[in-house]
């Protein structure tokens, strides 16, 4: 996912929203599912976020982004678009 306060979450959602993506790969994002849910609010991408605990649980379904959920971002303190040590650590 990269920096959770950056553009990575939005780019990932927009990529997975394209149904053709599943023709060329099996997308699995490694990061924080809560950040991805937040990004859904402004990314204009009709994608369901599906947290998984391990890669074997991923389903790779069209319209869904499986997220290997690290739960490593405090959404209460994350400031989108701002550089922070916490966001850097999460990246």
In this structure, is residue 3 part of a structural domain?
A: no
**Residue 81's pLDDT is what?**
67
Structural domain including 15 reads 8-73
Mean pLDDT of 10-28: 93
pLDDT tens-place string over residues 28-45: 999 899 889 988 988 888
- CA-CA distance, 57 to 60, in Å (whole number)? 9
**Residue 43's pLDDT is what?**
83
pLDDT tens-place string over residues 47-75: 999 999 999 999 999 999 999 998 877 76
**Residue 8's pLDDT is what?**
87
DSSP state of 57: G
User: How many domains is the chain partitioned into structurally?
Assistant: 1
Largest CA distance in the chain: 37
The pTM score is: 0.84
Determine how many CB atoms are found less than 10 A away from the CB of residue 27: 17
In this structure, is residue 20 part of a structural domain?
A: yes
In this structure, is residue 40 part of a structural domain?
A: yes
């Amino acid at each position: 996912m990269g920096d959770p306060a950056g553009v990575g979450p939005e780019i990932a959602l927009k990529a997975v929203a394209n149904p053709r993506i599943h023709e060329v790969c099996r997308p699995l994002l490694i990061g924080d599912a809560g950040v991805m849910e937040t990004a859904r609010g402004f990314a204009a991408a009709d994608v369901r976020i599906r947290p998984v605990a391990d890669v074997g649980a991923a389903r790779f379904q069209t319209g869904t982004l499986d997220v290997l959920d690290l739960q490593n971002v405090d959404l209460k303190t994350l400031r989108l678009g701002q550089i922070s040590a916490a966001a850097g650590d999460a990246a």
